[in-house]
Structure 1
Amino acid sequence: MKRGKKYVEAAKNIDRQTLYEAADAISLVKKNATAKFDETIEAHIRTGCDGRHAEQQIRGAVVLPHGTGKTVRVLVFAKGAKADEALAAGADFVGGEELIPKIQNDNWFEFDVVVATPDMMGVVGRLGRVLGPKGLMPNPKAGTVTMDVTKAVNDIKAGKIEYRLDKTNIIHVPIGKASFTEEQLSDNFQAIMDAIVKAKPSSLKGAYLRSVVLTSTMGPGVKLSTAKYVG
């Protein structure tokens, strides 16, 4: 894969053999985020889990202390008083049955997160085929199937992110933007790592955290030492 000049230059600042401490890694990644836009900084956490076993599936959510730096559009499936509550909390779109053809037939996806009250899951379930592959299906573990729509919307708007294993047992999560201070990125990264360490499946044998890499949208990855997270 051919890399651009900027990437090659940035890669020279990183020692591939070194496992950096979080603060040093964040500093390097931030320094190497030289694109003309505000790059997203992400953590890629390779686990020793086997997601094919239900008890080793990792899925949850965490509110980043400093948010994600991104404006998140929230769609809430609710009716009656709960619909009013969702609108009052700042949901971008609120509806029910009438949204199904709009999403299914008109390919309407102007939202980033979907929240639903439990009584609406029968309706939302019919969208499983289109929402599922996009990772938009509401889920109780992530706090997006709930009667407390005010809390759900507030948390998401404040910077709540979901984490889950992908098919290769890696968790990919944003920790903020390159324009954030190093302290803000450190706080966000620590919040994510605390949540993921806590989510370690009890049935797992062997290493839980295989590797942790921080990277910006266009920059090279920086490997972290996982020693302090492996108790």
Structure 2
Amino acid sequence: MSKKLTKNKKKILDKISSKKYSLKEAILLVKEINFVKFDASIDISIRLGIDVRLPNQMVRGTVSLPHGTGKNICILALVPKDKELEVKKVGADYVGLNYIEKIKSGWTDIDVIVATPSVMNKLSTIGKILGPKGLMPNPKMETVSVNPEKSVKEIKSGKITFKSDRYGIVHASVGRVSFSHQHLLENIGEFIKIIIRNKPSTSKGSYIKSIYLSSTMSYGIPLDLKNFVNT
């Protein structure tokens, strides 16, 4: 097994040069150096020229990927009784305030929680559980909404959230290895466009420092920033 991995690693290193790649080249290369047996996720990492010490320079928001992520997003909808049927109809996997008690006992087998403003005060008891896992509903991420069925529908259709980490890097899954070249181009292009649009007004100098594309368990491929306007 280790010999095979070493052989694969050598193959990968032989293919990656020290140059920076156009988005089209990077997508082709990421697919080529993918050696896992499953349909790997295609991930993007964008290092931003922001001051992470300043709260007003945090970059966060949502983007609707034209072709989704290829992953079934598991959603819990914490809504009043009169909204339960609507959110179930549009695809919420778990529905109802009874899940608050379940979360207290350690259950967090979900990707996103959507809530209405009216129930947010009930979430204070589980904030310490949800916060570190990035599951706390947030109006800026459009996961707190007076129209939760719309939020659930959009998330199921490919809307994802993003947030710069403590190093000023934004990470996201933008598709799967099985996606067509064109679909990956469109997803990644849309993601980068939204990141550029979310540049904090107080951020000075070069905004996008580097962009890397990778698949699950593969090396990162550096993108040539000249391909992206207003960086």
Q: TM-score, normalised by structure 1?
A: 0.94
* Structure 1: stretches of 5+ with no match in the other structure: none
Q: Paired residue for 2:153? A: 154
Cα distance between partner residues in 1 of 2:213 and 2:6? 19
Cα distance between partner residues in 2 of 1:61 and 1:168? 20
Letter in 2 for 1:93: Y
Aligned residue among 13, 16, 38 for 2:15 = 13
Q: Paired residue for 2:171? A: 172
Q: Name the count of aligned residue pairs.
A: 227
Question: Which string of whole-angstrom CA distances, capped at 9 and with x for unpartnered residues, describes residues 150-201 of structure 1?
Answer: 2111111111111111111100011111111111111100110011000000
Cα distance between partner residues in 2 of 1:198 and 1:44? 17
Letter in 2 for 1:178: V
Q: TM-score, normalised by structure 2?
A: 0.94
Q: Paired residue for 1:214? A: 213
Q: Paired residue for 2:101? A: 101
Letter in 2 for 1:146: S
Letter in 2 for 1:173: A
1:1-231 equivalences in 2 (<5 Å): 4-16=6-18, 18-96=19-97, 98-105=98-105, 107-231=106-230
Q: Residue 125 of structure 1: CA displacement?
A: 2.7
Cα distance between partner residues in 1 of 2:10 and 2:160? 31
The answer to whether the 8 Å contact 1:40/1:178 transfers is yes
The answer to whether the 8 Å contact 1:209/1:230 transfers is no
Cα distance between partner residues in 2 of 1:116 and 1:81? 13
Q: Residue 4 of structure 1: CA displacement?
A: 4.0
Cα distance between partner residues in 2 of 1:123 and 1:4? 52
Q: Residue 5 of structure 1: CA displacement?
A: 3.1
The answer to whether the 8 Å contact 1:77/1:124 transfers is no
Cα distance between partner residues in 1 of 2:128 and 2:10? 41
Cα distance between partner residues in 1 of 2:13 and 2:173? 21
Deviates more, 1:77-86 or 1:40-49: 77-86
Cα distance between partner residues in 2 of 1:228 and 1:141? 29
Moved over 4 A (4+): none
With over 3 angstroms needed to count, the CA separation of the structure-2 counterparts of 1:78 and 1:125, relative to structure 1, is same
The answer to whether the 8 Å contact 1:86/1:94 transfers is yes
